[in-house]
Each structure stands twice: as C-alpha cells, then as structure tokens.
Amino acid sequence: MRAMVLSKVGEPLTLQSLPDPLPGNDEVLLRVEACGVCRTDLHVVDGELPNIVTPLIPGHECVGIVEVLGPGVSGLKPGQRVGVPWLGGTCHHCEYCRGGRENLCDTPEFTGYTRPGGYASHIVARADYCVPLHHDADPVAIAPLLCAGLIGWRCLAKTGQAKRIGLYGFGAAAHIVTQIACRQQRDVYAFTRAGDITAQTFARSLGAVWAGSSDEMPPVPLDAAILFAPIGDLVPLALRAVKKGGRVVCGGIHMSDIPSFPYRWLWEEREVVSVANLTRADAHDFFAAKECKDIKTATRIYPLEQANQALGDLRAGRLSGAAVLKP
C-alpha cells in the first residue's frame, strides 16, 4: 500500500510503499477513498500530543470500502462504505466505559495517533468502531464530518439550549456547526483571525448573523461560546463575551496555555468546560439527526502525496472549510 508516514516528529511526512496490512480479530481492511485533514493531525505531526510513537500514519477522518473481514467480524460486509473516526477502540471495562463515557476510556485507541491512520491507500480498523455510511455518500464530502462534524456536534450539545452562540475559529468544525445551529433556530456569531474577511464572508454565507475578529466583542451578549481555535488567549475573551450563567466550551484536543484573568470575568456562574474525543453514540446521533442531513461541507481536495501541503495550508489558515486527501 501507499502511505504518507511520519518518521520523526516535527519533520515532513514521506510517501512510502508498505506491505498491505491484514486485519486481525474483529478488524476490517478498508480501501481508503478519502481522508480529511484535521487540526489534530497538526498536533500529532508537530509533537504537541504526548507519547507519539513513530513511524506513524496520521489521519482520522477516513472514508473507505470494506475489502477484507477479519475473524469474528459481523455486521459489516465486503463492498460496504464506512467511516473511521478518531476513536479507534476502548477497553469496555474501565469505569468510564461501563458508565457510558467511552470517550474518557483509560486505555483508548485513536486512529492516526495510536493506530495507523487514513493518510494511506488502505487502513485496518476495528469493525465495531467503524461508522456505516450510505452507499451513495460522497466520500470527500463525508470525510470532514467524521471528526469536525462529530466533535462540533458534541460541543454544540454542551451549550444546552443556548440561543446566541459564538464560534471562535472558523474552520472545518465551525462551518459545519453553523449550518446545524441555524437549522436549530440559533443565532451564530463567528469570530475569526483579525482581518480574515474571507472567513467572515464565508460565515455569513452559511447563516451567521454576525462575523468579526476574535478580539472584538459581539454586538450582544452571548449565551454560550465554542472555541475551535487552539489558542488559550481566547478563553478570557470568550468569557467576557458570554452573559451571566453563560458557558465557554473548549473543543480542541490541545490548546496553548490560558492566561490569567480577573475572577470577575468568570463570576456570576459562567463556566469553562472541555470536550474530549467522542463516542460511538455521538456518531449514531449525528448521522440520524434531521438537522445534520445534507450538510454542505466546503472541501479542497489534495492528492495523497500532497499531505504536507494540506497540513501547511491548514496551519497557515489558508483554508475555508476542510482539506481532504484522496489516494
């Protein structure tokens, strides 16, 4: 198979020809059709996540066709289209798994981090963590939904019944969440890098009622805010933007340090919470929800061998929407 491999943290990925993998017990071999490029992939290749073992194939927004079933697999069949998300496996027996919070499993497996990912022509995945997809689904359009969509969905759920929601960092996740929130009759306020008129115009085109720079205050107090940008400096800004009793949801797996700020900005029962990973139930609920049907993902396609270019464009903020690799 062909794969873009991280041989050393902090260095560019290299295109390599590797032996075709074989599925083990309860696993399937997929032919990759598309794999989204996520900010978490940047955290992996830049070494911002702990205990990275190289060589490693990144990528966890993967859509593929089942080619081979490993021993013990049921519920999937060859030729079926499935998605492979970030959560690649859990233990099933720790207190979190037993309590219905497998996203917090003590010994999880993560696609493209602790398991080989989707920046490749083929991938092996645990069958019970694959997401069945419609046979007519567009692999490129679906790929960003498997992380940006699912994490965005989980973040949105954390805002409860908030009517006015601020989104800080308008990339892959935010452009999906905006569409869902608007369908739920919520008002979206989009915060972008200073001067990023392209992203602000994009946000308004998707239904945002206001768009501006992240250092601006919105025209009205917000009920909640979601931070997709991994910038700790945004936490105090978001706290100042939400009203009494408001909640700030941090949606990333990594964030720069949060600076100190006056307690009065947190007082009056404002909250800061984080979202960690996702569950298989999140995927089921997301793809079943009526407001998530026919989400229009803005994508830019890159050949597999241009994965470094896609990561560079994401890092530099040159994308509106999501980058997707095609083998």
- For 253, the 3-state DSSP assignment is coil
C-alpha 4: how far from chain center: 20
Residues 100-114 have pLDDT tens digits of 999 999 999 999 999
- The mean pLDDT of 126-155, rounded to a whole number, is 96
Query: In the structure, what pLDDT confidence band is assigned to residue 129 with cuts at 50, 70 and 90?
Result: very high
Sequence ranges of the domains in the chain: 2-147+278-326, 149-274
Q: Cβ–Cβ contacts within 10 Å for residue 259, how many?
A: 9
Specify the pLDDT at position 321. Answer: 87
Mean of pLDDT over the chain: 97
CATH topology of domain 2-147+278-326: Quinone Oxidoreductase; Chain A, domain 1 (3.90.180)
Q: Name the strand (E) or helix (H) holding 314.
A: helix 307-315
Same CATH fold assignment for domains 2-147+278-326 and 149-274 = no
Tell me the pLDDT tens digit for each residue of 154-201: 999 999 999 999 999 999 999 999 999 999 999 999 999 999 999 999
Q: Is the pLDDT of residue 281 over 90?
A: yes
36 Cβ contact partners less than 8 Å away, ≥ 6 residues apart: 59, 61, 62, 143, 144, 146, 147, 148, 172, 322, 323, 324, 325
User: Which one-letter amino acid corresponds to residue 246?
Assistant: G
Nearest Cα to Cα of residue 115 among 84, 154, 70, 82? 84
Q: What is the CATH number of domain 149-274?
A: 3.40.50.720
Question: How far apart are alpha carbons 307 and 4 in whole angstroms?
Answer: 7
**Residue 117: enclosing H or E segment and its boundaries?**
none
Tokens (6 digits) for 307:
């994965």
